[in-house]
Amino acid sequence: MNVPELRWRGVMRLGLVQMALGAVVVLATSTLNRVMVVELALPALLPGCLLALHYAVQVSRPRMGHGSDGSRRRSPWILGGMAVLAGGGVLAAVATAWMGSAPLAGMLLAAVAFVLIGLGVAAAGTSLLALLASRVSPQRRAGAATTVWTMMIAGFVVTAGGAGAFLDPYSPQRLVMVSLVVSALALLLAFVALWGLEDAVPAASQVPATPQPPFRAALREVWREPQARRFTFFVFVSMVAFSAQDLILEPFAGAVFGYTPGASTQLAGVQHGGTLAGMLLAALAGRHGFGSLRQWVIGGCIASGAALIGLAAAGRIGMGWPLAANVFLLGTATGAFSIAAIGSMMRLAGEGRSGTEGLRLGVWGAAQAVAFAAGGLVGTGASDLARWLLADVGHAYALVFLFEAVLFLGAAQLAAGVEPATRAAATPLRRRVALSGVANGRPGAPS
């Protein structure tokens, strides 16, 4: 059954939704983490456990994707997920402020909030990507995914920078107010962007071409495919390496370099700005045929490991180290790596049986979520252990960053076996990851 294609205007509207999603998530994953560890002097393992909980809940992604596969429209799944996410974001800020006077009650409320955040991300994020994979032509999928991801990172950058400016001087009341405003604006943006997006398509064309099998049967069918299974393993290992540094960067900046909550939040914005630059770099290079998917994945992992080695040096040297530049380079490396992985993911999602895009993306999203949970626990737990064993906090963080660099180098070695070199060389990156028209400032057409 032919389904009308989603044009670039529709892709940009979905990018606005992804931007709204990123705006809420960045406060929970960076700012609240910093406040718990530095301002409230709580163990770094606490935000690590909360983030692990929110990722653990996202094992529901395959079920969410399968549910949206069987629906006439995916927009209700996306908007419903955004509403749950926004509510969870505000509740998490309230819980963090409450920890200052009632730690146990605040922690219990935070656990509820992060469960809501995880469910919201699972429903909205999986359904949004499934809509892209099912309604964008094969030659445009990678470019569409790149556009959407770029806009999400832009949401990270704008929110981290803007929220950081409004958070100083810090107070619990100010934290809750900033979170409330960000969540309300994000939900409004998502609602406006989705309004009428699928209404123009006849309802009959939105029904899957074949009846949907039961969830477990469909999941077994996807898992039996060697290519989908191998990609799942690669996503898991690479995302453990990717996420292990995420929760300790802001506490590191506060403890070793004396950054305030606003300054460390803005540092997170610098990192996300680097990620955006890396994504654009990879997309432009791919458009001109510079490098294959395999080369960008491996190169991005190696460069990320090198940047983490630089952060380890920063932990030993201290104030004289160019921390912001180092963090920007780390973001650039991970951004380039992410684009190559996204291109492969969108291609694989569209190659299977029609009507299973949401389930496939849900499986890979669940692998990523479990990896992020493990990475967060590894990063925060290792930092707590190192700080307990070593008197110098900078040296303790240096050991953790070195460990994470080793993980990235291991991920690069694994990436070399995900796609054979001969096939990778025959398929240039520009065919899979093309942010068309970046050079002249417009979304453009596929290459």
CATH code where residue 49 lies = 1.20.1250.20
Structure tokens at 141: 């999928």
pTM exceeds 0.85? no
Count the helix, strand and coil residues of the chain and give each as a percent rounded to the nearest 5. 80, 0, 20
Cα gap 314→322, rounded to integer Å: 8
What whole-number distance in Å separates Cα of residue 275 and Cα of residue 306?
Answer: 15
* 294 within some domain: yes
CA distances from 399 to 245, 291, 405 (A): 12, 33, 10
Helix axes 293-317, 226-243, angle to 10 degrees: 20
* Tokens, residue 417: 């076996």
Q: Do the beta carbons of residue 350 and residue 25 sit within 8 Å?
A: no
Q: Does a structural domain hold residue 41?
A: yes
The verdict on residue 168 lying in a domain is yes
**What does the pLDDT look like over 10-54, one tens digit per residue?**
888 898 999 999 889 988 877 888 788 878 888 877 887 888 888
pLDDT at 204 over 50: no
Q: How many residues are present in the chain?
A: 447
- If you average pLDDT over residues 325-334, what whole number do you get? 94
Q: Which residues pair with 240 in a beta bridge?
A: none
Task: State which residues form the domain around 253.
Answer: 8-440
The count of domains in the chain is 1
Residue 291 lies in a domain: yes
374 residue type, one letter: A
| Mean model confidence pLDDT for the chain | 80
Question: Would residue 26 count as lying in a domain?
Answer: yes
Q: Is 446 within the bounds of a domain?
A: no
Chain segment 342-380, per-residue pLDDT in tens? 877 777 776 666 667 788 888 888 888 888 878 777 777
Q: 65, 126 in Cβ contact below 8 A?
A: yes
User: 3-state SS of 341-363?
Assistant: HHHHHHHHHHHCCCCCHHHHHHH
Residue 423 lies in a domain: yes
The pLDDT value recorded for residue 107 is 94
Residue with the bigger pLDDT between 150 and 308: it is 308
Is 1 within a domain?
A: no
